[in-house]
Chain A
Amino acid sequence: MRKNIRNFCIIAHIDHGKSTLADRLLQATGSVSDREFHNQMLDSMDIERERGITIKSTAVTMYCENKAGEKFQLNLIDTPGHVDFSYEVSRALASCEGALLVVDAAQGVEAQTLANLYKAMEQDLEIIPVVNKIDLPSADIYETLYEIDNELGLDPDGAILISAKTGQGIEELLEAIMERVPPPAGNPDAPLRARVFDSIFDPYRGVIAYFRVVDGVMRSDQDILLMAKGNEYRIEEIGHLGIKREKCKVLSNGDVGYIIAGIKSVSDVRSGETITAKLNPSEEILDGFALAKPVVFSSLFPISSEDYNDLALAMDKLKLNDASLIFEKVNSVGLGFGFRCGFLGLLHLEVVQERLEREFGMSLVLTAPTVLYRVSLTNGEVKYIDNPNLYPDPSRIELTEEPYIKASVIMPDKYIGPVTTLLLDRRGQNYSNTYVGARRVEIKVDMPLAEIVYDFYDKLKSVTQGYGSFDYEASDYQPGNLVKVDILVNHEKVDALSMLVHRNRANAWAKRACENLKEAIPRQQFKIPIQGTIGGAIIARTTISALRKDVTAKCYGGDITRKRKLLDKQKAGKKRMKMVGKVMIPQKAFLAVLKRD
Chain B
Amino acid sequence: MTAEGTGLYVHVPFCLKKCSYCAFTSVKKPDDTSGMCSALHTEFIQRTRNRNIQFRTFYAGGGTPSLLPPEFWMRLIGAVKTPSMEEVTIETNPAVLDAVGYSALFLAGFNRISVGVQSFSDMNLKLLGRIHSADEARESLKLARKMGFRNISLDLMYGLPGQTSENQKKDIEEALLFMPQHISAYDLTLEPGTPMGDRGEKASENQCAEMYYRIHEMLTANGYIHYEVSSYALEDKYRSKHNSSYWDRTPYIGIGPSAHSFTGAGRSWNVSDIPEYESSVVQGNLPEEFSEELTDEDAAHEILALGFRNTNGVDLKELERFGFKLDLADLLNTGFVKKKGNLMIPNTGGMLFADYLALKAAELLEEVPRV
- The interface of chain A, by Cβ under 8 A from chain B, is 525, 547-561, 563-564, 566-568, 570-571, 574
Instruction: State whether the Cβ of B239 lies closer than 8 Å to any Cβ in chain A.
Output: no
- Looking across the interface, which residue of chain A has its beta carbon closest to that of B24? A557
Known A-B contacts A553-B187, A564-B305; A548 and B260 likewise in contact (beta carbons under 8 Å):
no
A567, B309: Cβ atoms closer than 8 Å: no
Alpha-carbon separation in the docked complex, A564 to B299 (Å): 9
B356, A550: Cβ atoms closer than 8 Å: yes
Instruction: State whether the Cβ of B149 lies closer than 8 Å to any Cβ in chain A.
Output: no
Instruction: State whether the Cβ of B189 lies closer than 8 Å to any Cβ in chain A.
Output: yes
Closest 4 CB pairs of A and B: A548-B209, A558-B260, A553-B187, A550-B356
Alpha-carbon separation in the docked complex, A371 to B209 (Å): 47
CB distance from A564 to the nearest CB of B (A): 5
A559, B260: Cβ atoms closer than 8 Å: yes
B353, A553: Cβ atoms closer than 8 Å: no
- Looking across the interface, which residue of chain A has its beta carbon closest to that of B207? A548
Instruction: State whether the Cβ of B301 lies closer than 8 Å to any Cβ in chain A.
Output: yes
B209, A549: Cβ atoms closer than 8 Å: yes
Which of B246, B352, B353, B363 meets A558, CB within 8 Å? Answer: B246
Alpha-carbon separation in the docked complex, A550 to B243 (Å): 21
Alpha-carbon separation in the docked complex, A568 to B212 (Å): 26
A549, B189: Cβ atoms closer than 8 Å: no
CB distance from B198 to the nearest CB of A (A): 18
- CB-CB under 8 A from A551, the residues of chain B are 229, 309, 351-356
Known A-B contacts A548-B209, A556-B246, A557-B260; A571 and B359 likewise in contact (beta carbons under 8 Å):
yes
B331-354 residues with Cβ-Cβ distance < 8 A to A are 334, 351-354
Which of B260, B298, B301, B352 meets A550, CB within 8 Å? Answer: B352
B362, A567: Cβ atoms closer than 8 Å: yes
CB distance from A547 to the nearest CB of B (A): 8
B186, A553: Cβ atoms closer than 8 Å: yes
B267-319 residues with Cβ-Cβ distance < 8 A to A are 267, 269, 292, 298, 301-302, 304-306, 309
The 12 sampled A-B contact pairs (Cβ below 8 Å) are A548-B208, A552-B189, A553-B229, A554-B186, A555-B306, A558-B262, A561-B267, A564-B301, A567-B359, A570-B359, A571-B359, A574-B363
Known A-B contacts A560-B306, A567-B305; A555 and B247 likewise in contact (beta carbons under 8 Å):
yes
B51-87 residues with Cβ-Cβ distance < 8 A to A are 61
CB distance from B123 to the nearest CB of A (A): 21
B262, A560: Cβ atoms closer than 8 Å: yes
Instruction: State whether the Cβ of B130 lies closer than 8 Å to any Cβ in chain A.
Output: no
B354, A550: Cβ atoms closer than 8 Å: yes
B9, A557: Cβ atoms closer than 8 Å: yes
- Looking across the interface, which residue of chain A has its beta carbon closest to that of B249? A560
- CB-CB under 8 A from A560, the residues of chain B are 246, 249, 260, 262, 267, 302, 305-306
CB distance from A160 to the nearest CB of B (A): 55
Alpha-carbon separation in the docked complex, A563 to B249 (Å): 13
Alpha-carbon separation in the docked complex, A557 to B89 (Å): 13
Instruction: State whether the Cβ of B94 lies closer than 8 Å to any Cβ in chain A.
Output: no
Instruction: State whether the Cβ of B113 lies closer than 8 Å to any Cβ in chain A.
Output: no
CB distance from A522 to the nearest CB of B (A): 11
- CB-CB under 8 A from B292, the residues of chain A are 561
- CB-CB under 8 A from B252, the residues of chain A are 558
- CB-CB under 8 A from B133, the residues of chain A are none
- CB-CB under 8 A from B187, the residues of chain A are 549, 553
- CB-CB under 8 A from B254, the residues of chain A are 558
B170-220 residues with Cβ-Cβ distance < 8 A to A are 186-189, 205-206, 208-209, 212
Known A-B contacts A557-B260, A564-B301; A549 and B363 likewise in contact (beta carbons under 8 Å):
no
- CB-CB under 8 A from A563, the residues of chain B are 302, 305-306
